[in-house]
Amino acid sequence: MTLQGKTALVTGGGRGIGKSIAHRLAEAGAHVVIASRKMENLEETAKEFSKLPGKTIPIACHVGRKEQLEYLIQQVEDTLGPVDILVNNSATNIGQGPALEVSDEALLKTAEVNVLAALRLIRLTVPKMIQRGGGSIINIASIAGLRPQPQGLVYSFTKAGLIMMTRVWAIEFGPHNVRVNAICPGLIETDFSEYFWKNPQHVERLQQTQPIPRVGKPDEIGGIALYLASDDSSFVTGQTFIIDGGATAR
């Protein structure tokens, strides 16, 4: 129960990697708000987690909308108090395709959900973390932000941006005991990445090159997030944790 008494917010916490993170945090005693667009999905997850020590509270929110983020934080604070642990996990990957076909709209929309939402949530939560003497922010980036992903210009750009913003935030907030770290998953079996893991050729290539030759599971990401949320990582900030079966080790 290392997170007893803590309030956590996990965007996209209703399924996939976010769900695995929310599970580990609630299991450790934190009260967790899971927020994304589809309420049925969030409610189902909250119901599934109802026996865990920490409460799980679903709140609908499109993270690309500034006023919805403001309303979200207001609701979290009114229900559970200020956020101690913020997990910026929601993302979109619209605009996949050849670089020359990337539209202005695809870049701006993707950046709004994948990067600007994190910036806005940090602006809405960090001042209170500083007042209260600390906090932990975990940004879910991707190995696509560390090495170029062909046909994925916009997605790679946003994830690389998130990794660099993590380091800048860590430097600025470190003296206030607000730690900021990034997690870069490799290919994990979720709805988001089915284009890749349902493609036999892609999986075959992965099996030939990745040291742990399989697609990862969402539950293989929750543990590192729990570590980063807890005081076990009290001397860790500004870092990027790669969980990719060794894909980038070569």
Ligand X SMILES: NC(=O)c1ccc[n+]([C@@H]2O[C@H](COP(=O)([O-])OP(=O)(O)OC[C@H]3O[C@@H](n4cnc5c(N)ncnc54)[C@H](OP(=O)(O)O)[C@@H]3O)[C@@H](O)[C@H]2O)c1
Active-site positions read 155
17 counts as binding ligand X under rule CB under 6 A:
yes
Residue closer to ligand X by CB (options 123, 147) is 147
- How far apart are CB 197 and ligand X at their closest, in Å? 7
Tell me which residues in 108-137 interact with ligand X (CB under 6 A).
113
Q: Is residue 12 near ligand X by the rule CB under 6 A? A: yes
What are the tokens at 148? 């170029």
Collapsed DSSP state (helix, strand, coil) of residue 135? strand
* Geometric angle at alpha carbon 218, from 215 and 223, rounded to 5°: 115
Query: Considering the rule CB under 6 A, would residue 41 count as an interface residue with ligand X?
Result: yes
**Residue 102 or 163 with smaller CB distance to ligand X:** 163
Q: Taking CB under 6 A as the rule, does residue 217 contact ligand X?
A: no
Residue in 3, 10, 16, 146 binding ligand X, rule: CB under 6 A: 16
Stretch that binds ligand X, among 85-93, 128-136, 172-180, 223-231 (CB under 6 A): 85-93
Residue showing tokens 């430097």: 171
Residue among 64 and 135 whose Cβ is closer to ligand X: 64
Residue with tokens 């900021």: 180
List of residues 6+ apart from 24 with CB closer than 8 A: 222, 223, 225, 226
Which residue in this structure is represented by tokens 């979200």?
Answer: 72
SS (H, E, C) 37-59: CCHHHHHHHHHHCCCCCCCEEEE
Q: What are phi and psi of 4, to 5 degrees?
A: -60, 135
* 177-54-114 Cα angle (round to 5): 60
Of the candidate residues 118, 178, 187, 242, the single one contacting ligand X (CB under 6 A):
187
Residues forming the site for ligand X (CB under 6 A): 11-12, 14-18, 36-38, 41, 61-64, 89-92, 113, 140, 142, 185, 187-188, 190-193
